[in-house]
Chain A
Amino acid sequence: AQSVTQLDSHVSVSEGTPVLLRCNYSSSYSPSLFWYVQHPNKGLQLLLKYTSAATLVKGINGFEAEFKKSETSFHLTKPSAHMSDAAEYFCVVGMNSGYSTLTFGKGTMLLVSP
């Protein structure tokens, strides 16, 4: 069984300030973890993926996430927000198996103000 909890439904930041989107996961097996982003009226785009290699994962557009097994967390961060980062972000978990499906969190809406 697997599940993911995104701790904030909305996060508001000012342009140029750090971004932190929080995610906790639950998995009976060694997980793969993802962050996807959805801009308004668009499909989902992969930001980054963790399998079982380095615990700090770097993604596109300056985002990164750190896998912390002891805390069952996979928080997404960015040092400096840009207006174009305003979007909905999904934390996603899947098993490290060739035939697993993905389970999505409910999403965090990131609002960026000038």
Chain B
Amino acid sequence: DADVTQTPRNRITKTGKRIMLECSQTKGHDRMYWYRQDPGLGLRLIYYSFDVKDINKGEISDGYSVSRQAQAKFSLSLESAIPNQTALYFCATSVPTGGADTQYFGPGTRLTVL
């Protein structure tokens, strides 16, 4: 079984709808991250959490919110989806190992907002 799972893998929704993307991990890592990937822009950090009680905004948090329900679960919500939130979304986890953390990625969720 995959260590980092994301559900759903694909989602099509309409403008104005609320949507939640979920991430679960079995790696036992305290740190979790949400990114979005757009063609030609690489990955950009939306939110991150260094432990269950810690939530931090990333580079592009506007229009998004997160919930860290447990060590293993980190959800990303779009309160009112808009078309420019169409993207590939990745969840990642990490544990401190010396230097900057190596991050381990889930398979991604492809979101389309019509």
A104 and B44 within 8 A (CB): yes
A94 and B101 within 8 A (CB): yes
Closest chain-A Cβ to B69's Cβ sits at a distance in Å of: 21
Size category of the binding interface on chain B: 20 to 34
A96 and B40 within 8 A (CB): no
B99 and A52 within 8 A (CB): yes
User: B42-71 vs A: 1/0 string, CB under 8 Å?
Assistant: 111100101000000010000000000000
Q: How far is the CA of A101 from the CA of B48 in the complex (A)?
A: 9
Q: Does B74 have its Cβ within 8 Å of any Cβ on chain A?
A: no
On B, residues with C-beta under 8 Å from A are 4, 33, 35, 40-45, 48, 50, 58, 90, 92, 96, 98-108
On A, residues with C-beta under 8 Å from B are 9, 31-32, 34, 36, 42-46, 49, 51-52, 90, 93-102, 104-107
